[in-house]
Amino acid sequence: QVQLKESGPGLVQPSQTLSLTCTVAGFSLTSYNVHWVRQPPGKGLEWMGVIWNTGGTRYNSALKSRLSISKDTSKSQVFLKMNSLQTEDTATYYCARVGYWGQGVMVTVSS
Amino acid sequence: EIVLTQSPTTIAASPGEKVTITCRASSSVSYMYWYQQKPGASPKPWIYDTSKLASGVPNRFSGSGSGTSYSLTINTMETEDAATYYCQQWSSTPHTFGAGTKLELK
Per-residue pLDDT reduced to its tens digit, B11-63: 999 999 999 999 999 999 999 999 999 999 999 999 999 999 999 999 999 99
Check CB contact under 8 Å for A94 and B44: no
For B30, phi then psi, to 5°, come to -80, -40
How many angstroms separate the first and last alpha carbons of chain A?
39
Contacts of B93 in chain A (CB under 8 A): 50, 58, 60
Contacts of A102 in chain B (CB under 8 A): 42
Burial of A77 (0-12, 13-18, 19+ CB in 10 A): middle
Residue B31 DSSP SS3? coil
Contacts of A61 in chain B (CB under 8 A): 1, 94
Q: Which of A80, A81, A107, A77 is nearest to A3 (CA)?
A: A77
Per-residue pLDDT tens digits for B65-80: 999 999 999 999 999 9
State the DSSP code for B54. P
Strand partners, A106: A92
